[in-house]
């Protein structure tokens, strides 16, 4: 169904455990119908973890979801964001305006700040990277024009009151949650771990259905960082994951393993594609990796992901750049 005929969900709230609620918030994105915020009881209010995307009417969905749990925005004592993507951080300014709470978030959020401060510059950079990666000028111009009309999903840029770095503790009625820095999906990504109850608020680091996305161009090796972050999550031995999208899930170790397996499989496919077809552009690797070429819908996801695999393989010495324009890759 197209987005115009698809019936939009409403915000919905449900209790997961005593003192812990899932707030399910609709998203306007095809294939990603909603995201989760989590409310955790803390004294006379709640700690809110993530807050959904900002668009006209979006705050009413959060309020509706909270109301179903007998909560109101004024109950938010602290807002914690697992990472600075619009579906997790977009409404931060609105929540802060309504509640007067503090915001805690990891300081490596330049990837988000740039899209709010300098959207034209970010688009120009993406255009340049796509061109460099072998995407033909048409359809690139067309895709780029489409991207210009899309809103950022962020109400207003708010800087965190406190840096949510490894080891910081968030106190709640369910006990303290430790911050674990888990970059890869985004440089600013953290998980929150409650060791006594073996709970993990995993953001987009671990999802119920394995789905890989990497922010390209902000750190040296996002795929390598993601794999290290999977090791960190595995060491926590959590029994229940409260993820950024869809339902909670229990077999955390199996999900971590499934992520490792998919990354390994995709790296091997990219390595094989370069060995067989190199010198090859990232654009030409895409159909060999996903079974279909880029479209307007997938360009912003699959191209950076492919570039991140090529970068990972370059870091481990399996491929190298052949130094042509556009950039082509060969086996090292």
By CB under 5 A, name the binding residues for Zn ion. Answer: 85, 87, 204, 244
Q: Is 245 helix (H, G, I), strand (E, B) or coil?
A: coil
Instruction: Output the DSSP codes for 247-308.
Output: --BS-HHHHHHHHHHHHHHHHHHHHHHHHHH-SB-HHHHHHHHHSS---HHHHHHHHHHHHH
Q: Which two tokens stand for residue 191?
A: 């998980």
84 close to 54: Cβ distance less than 8 angstroms: no
Kindly tell me which of 134 and 183 has the beta carbon lying closer to Zn ion. Answer: 183
Kindly tell me which of 111 and 311 has the beta carbon lying closer to Zn ion. Answer: 111
Shortest spacing between CB 200 and Zn ion, in angstroms: 16
Kindly tell me which of 284 and 305 has the beta carbon lying closer to Zn ion. Answer: 305
Rg (CA), the chain: 20
Kindly tell me which of 42 and 79 has the beta carbon lying closer to Zn ion. Answer: 79
Q: Is 175 helix (H, G, I), strand (E, B) or coil?
A: strand
Shortest spacing between CB 27 and Zn ion, in angstroms: 8
Nearest C-alpha neighbor of 222 from the set 186, 188, 193: 186
Cα distance between residue 311 and residue 332, in whole Å:
12
Q: What is the DSSP letter of 15?
A: E
Kindly tell me which of 35 and 274 has the beta carbon lying closer to Zn ion. Answer: 35
Shortest spacing between CB 204 and Zn ion, in angstroms: 4
Contacts 24+ apart (CB under 8 A), 177-182: 177/40, 177/201, 180/232, 180/233, 180/236, 181/106, 181/229, 181/232, 182/229, 182/232, 182/233
Shortest spacing between CB 169 and Zn ion, in angstroms: 23
Kindly tell me which of 63 and 204 has the beta carbon lying closer to Zn ion. Answer: 204
Q: Nearest-CB residue to Zn ion?
A: 85
CA distances from 298 to 130, 195, 318 (A): 13, 38, 26
Q: 3-state DSSP: the chain helix, strand, coil percent, rounded to 5?
A: 40, 25, 40
Kindly tell me which of 88 and 328 has the beta carbon lying closer to Zn ion. Answer: 88
Shortest spacing between CB 85 and Zn ion, in angstroms: 4
Bond preceding residue 60 cis, omega within 30 of 0? no
Kindly tell me which of 248 and 281 has the beta carbon lying closer to Zn ion. Answer: 248
Shortest spacing between CB 84 and Zn ion, in angstroms: 9
Shortest spacing between CB 69 and Zn ion, in angstroms: 21
Shortest spacing between CB 331 and Zn ion, in angstroms: 32
């Amino acid at each position: 169904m197209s987005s115009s005929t698809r019936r939009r969900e409403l915000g919905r709230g449900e209790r997961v455990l005593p003192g812990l609620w899932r707030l399910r918030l609709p998203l306007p994105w095809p294939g990603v119908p909603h995201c989760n915020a989590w409310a955790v009881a803390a004294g006379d209010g709640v700690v809110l973890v993530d807050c959904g995307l900002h668009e006209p009417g979006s705050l009413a969905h959060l309020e509706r979801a909270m109301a179903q749990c007998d909560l109101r925005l004024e109950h938010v004592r602290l807002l914690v964001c697992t990472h600075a993507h619009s579906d997790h951080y977009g409404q931060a300014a609105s929540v802060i305006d309504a509640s007067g709470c503090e915001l805690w978030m990891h300081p490596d959020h330049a990837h988000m700040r740039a899209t709010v401060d300098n959207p034209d510059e970010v688009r120009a950079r993406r255009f340049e990277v796509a061109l460099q990666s072998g995407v033909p000028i048409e359809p690139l111009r067309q895709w780029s024009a489409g991207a210009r009309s899309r809103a950022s999903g962020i109400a207003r840029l708010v800087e965190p009151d406190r840096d949510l770095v490894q080891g910081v503790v968030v106190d709640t009625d369910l006990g303290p949650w430790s911050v674990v820095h888990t970059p890869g999906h985004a440089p600013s990504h953290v998980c929150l771990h409650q060791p006594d109850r073996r709970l993990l608020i995993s953001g987009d680091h671990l999802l119920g259905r394995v789905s890989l996305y990497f922010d390209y161009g902000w750190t040296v090796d996002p795929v390598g960082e993601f794999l290290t972050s999977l090791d960190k999550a595995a060491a926590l031995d959590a029994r229940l994951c409260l993820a950024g999208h869809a339902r909670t899930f229990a077999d955390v170790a199996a999900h971590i393993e499934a992520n490792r397996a998919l990354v390994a499989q995709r790296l091997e496919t990219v390595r094989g594609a370069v060995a067989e077809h190199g010198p090859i552009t990232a654009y030409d690797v895409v159909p060999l990796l996903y079974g279909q070429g880029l479209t307007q819908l997938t360009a912003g996801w699959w191209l950076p992901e492919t570039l991140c695999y090529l970068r990972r393989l370059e870091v481990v010495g399996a491929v190298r750049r052949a130094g042509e324009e556009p950039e082509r890759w060969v086996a090292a």
